[in-house]
Structure 1
Amino acid sequence: MEGIERIKSARNNELKVGQLYTWDGHALVAVPPSEQVKVPITLEAMDAVRKVRSQSTREGFRPCLMVTASWMLLAALSEVEDLPDQVIDYGLSVYAKLSRRKDRS
């Protein structure tokens, strides 16, 4: 509990609601917002990203998941003519699967 007491005693009245802080050993320090956006995806899509990432590994270079998924999205946008319609169709199939699972439980 000693660490918690140190944090409480060092706490500043200027802390902002909604701001994330970290303890540096002496004071609470504001954590800067991340420039990376986190988007939830289906397991099926994650498997596809992992597969492409694996196939893209060459000579010790392995692209991170963010780069792989970002490029896949950008490539699909420029390559697939009816992408919005396909997104709707895929969404309907995902929601239908979820609905069937819910009905079974």
Structure 2
Amino acid sequence: MARSTVVNLATGLESGGFRGTFSQMRAKIKDVGIEVANQHISFVTHDYDNGNIGEVKGLLSLKQMADYHHIAFKLFNIPNHFYGGTWLNNVPDEAEFTLYGELYCHDCDSAVGYKGAN
């Protein structure tokens, strides 16, 4: 993981109430990373299995990626607006995607047909 990712996840974990030693924090950050990767796999599989989402099977939209980060973060009590989620806490996600979407992902799929994570 990039240093900025590690710092942001550590801050998110602390914000969510996690307190531990340096080693415990490193292990917890690794756990978050594994959960995010598992959620990514799940969302890509769902995208392939449901051909009515976006334009390219397996290519995720900003909304899909934000949703799987939110799901993973919730398991660790990390607020949604930390790294990988949606940074602008008080701005609706769709407005944030419009404002900053190209920074997050310049070649993401559209969210047409995506009904959100359930």
* TM-score in terms of structure 2 length: 0.27
**Greater C-alpha radius of gyration:** 1
Q: Larger % of strand: which?
A: 1
Q: Which has the higher contact order (CA 8 A, sep 6+)?
A: 2
TM-score (ref. length: structure 1): 0.30
